[in-house]
Homo-oligomer: A and B are copies of this chain.
Amino acid sequence: MAETADAPLVEVHRGPIRECVHRGHAVIWHNDAGMIGAWGNADAYVLPRSSAKMIQALPLIESGAADTVGLTPEQLALACASHNGAATHTDRVTRWLSDLGLSEADLRCGPQEPSDIPARNDLVCTHTAPDQRHNNCSGKHSGFLTLSKHLRAGPEYIDPDHPVQRAIAEATSAVTDEAVSDYAIDGCSAPNFAGSLSGFARAMARFAAATADGGARQAAMVRLREAMMTHPDLVAGEGRACTRLMRAMGNGAAVKTGAEGVFFAIIPEHKIGVALKISDGATRGSEAALAQILANIGVLDRAHPVFTELTHGPIRNRREVDTGHYKVVNDLAKWRP
């Protein structure tokens, strides 16, 4: 990430004061035409964090593992999810692990308090500690375990040299057209492979342009994007931007947030991929910028409340007083494909 090359993308205003600014990088890639839009540094070197879960799920399908155990579209959506830890998510993870002959103890993602309030309150009031199924990445890890079992590999599937992670590194390199040389450890303890933002946008454009009869990789891409768009509630949860945006767009796009201000989108009808990163890591900045780009491309209705809320607000305080708003800047709102 070249800090000198990032661009102001989203401002936060309170009363008459511009209170904050979120700088970042964004790339819009058309599968045939190449890069059709960029702000900041298109070659910014980033960790995709959870926005790469669709890429991380490719080997699960391409290996035959998913079909061997009969994974459903719901499970594929969960494999790409950063979920809220609601019962709808954890119940499915519990059954998935059980179907594999495994249990919560086989996960390596670590425990996390659910962001879903009813689930959190239920744990608190029954004096039950959250476990690894509540981790927002437990679907991804269930996918990892499914692939690991299929490959007859060892239990430490998060080791960077484990066959599961080697397959993910290879898939990442193939879909981004870049050698994968660096990784960091993610919040869920899995390796997260670094790459350029343009490489990830190119990968998302491939997901967008993929066809069911285009070979094993493209067929896997189609199944993952369709699973996400069909089950937006499983990809995140109530109140979350991914879920709300996918619901608002019908089958217009599959979108996935990542920690530290990353957001990727797959827009099949336009064969377009989007990858953006807010330099400071702010989720509110990534959500505003992505919603604006989705509207510019024409898949998100500007009249939909989620567009207005994410790109403008209002920002309300604890008495529901309107105290400020967001503003997408740097001509991001004017760009058209």
Residues on A lying within 8 angstroms of B by beta carbon are: 1, 3, 8, 12, 14-23, 45-47, 108-112, 121, 124-125, 135, 182-189, 194, 260-261, 278-282, 285, 317-321, 323-324
Among A109, A124, A320, A324, residue most surrounded by chain B Cβ atoms (within 10 Å): A124
A280 proximity list for chain B (CB < 8 A): 20-23, 278-280, 282, 285
Closest Cβ–Cβ distance, residue A279 to chain B (whole Å): 5
The verdict on A110 contacting B184 (CB below 8 Å), with A17-B194, A19-B47, A281-B20 known, is no
A320 proximity list for chain B (CB < 8 A): 110
Contact A15 B184 (CB under 8 A): yes
Contact A110 B319 (CB under 8 A): yes
Name A21's closest neighbour in chain B (CB-CB): B3
A189 proximity list for chain B (CB < 8 A): 317-319, 321
A261 proximity list for chain B (CB < 8 A): 20
In the complex, what distance in Å separates the CA atom of A321 from the CA atom of B108?
11
A3 proximity list for chain B (CB < 8 A): 8, 21, 23
A121 proximity list for chain B (CB < 8 A): 124-125
DSSP class of A's interface residues: helix, strand, loop or mixed?
A: loop
Closest Cβ–Cβ distance, residue A26 to chain B (whole Å): 16
The verdict on A15 contacting B279 (CB below 8 Å), with A108-B319, A124-B125 known, is no
A112 proximity list for chain B (CB < 8 A): 318
Closest Cβ–Cβ distance, residue A185 to chain B (whole Å): 5
Contact B188 A111 (CB under 8 A): no
The verdict on A15 contacting B282 (CB below 8 Å), with A20-B260, A121-B124, A124-B125 known, is no
In the complex, what distance in Å separates the CA atom of A46 from the CA atom of B188?
37
What are 25 residue pairs bridging A and B, where the CB atoms are less than 8 Å apart in the complex? A1-B17, A3-B8, A14-B185, A15-B183, A15-B184, A16-B182, A17-B45, A17-B182, A19-B260, A19-B281, A20-B261, A20-B280, A20-B281, A108-B319, A110-B317, A110-B320, A111-B318, A186-B317, A187-B323, A188-B318, A189-B318, A279-B280, A280-B282, A280-B285, A282-B282
Name A45's closest neighbour in chain B (CB-CB): B17
Among B17, B109, B183, contact of A318 (Cβ-Cβ < 8 Å):
B109
Closest Cβ–Cβ distance, residue A174 to chain B (whole Å): 21
Contact B21 A1 (CB under 8 A): yes
A321 proximity list for chain B (CB < 8 A): 185, 189
In the complex, what distance in Å separates the CA atom of A45 from the CA atom of B278?
23
A281 proximity list for chain B (CB < 8 A): 12, 19-20, 282
Among B15, B22, B285, contact of A185 (Cβ-Cβ < 8 Å):
B15
Name A318's closest neighbour in chain B (CB-CB): B110
Contact A323 B185 (CB under 8 A): yes
Contact A47 B17 (CB under 8 A): yes
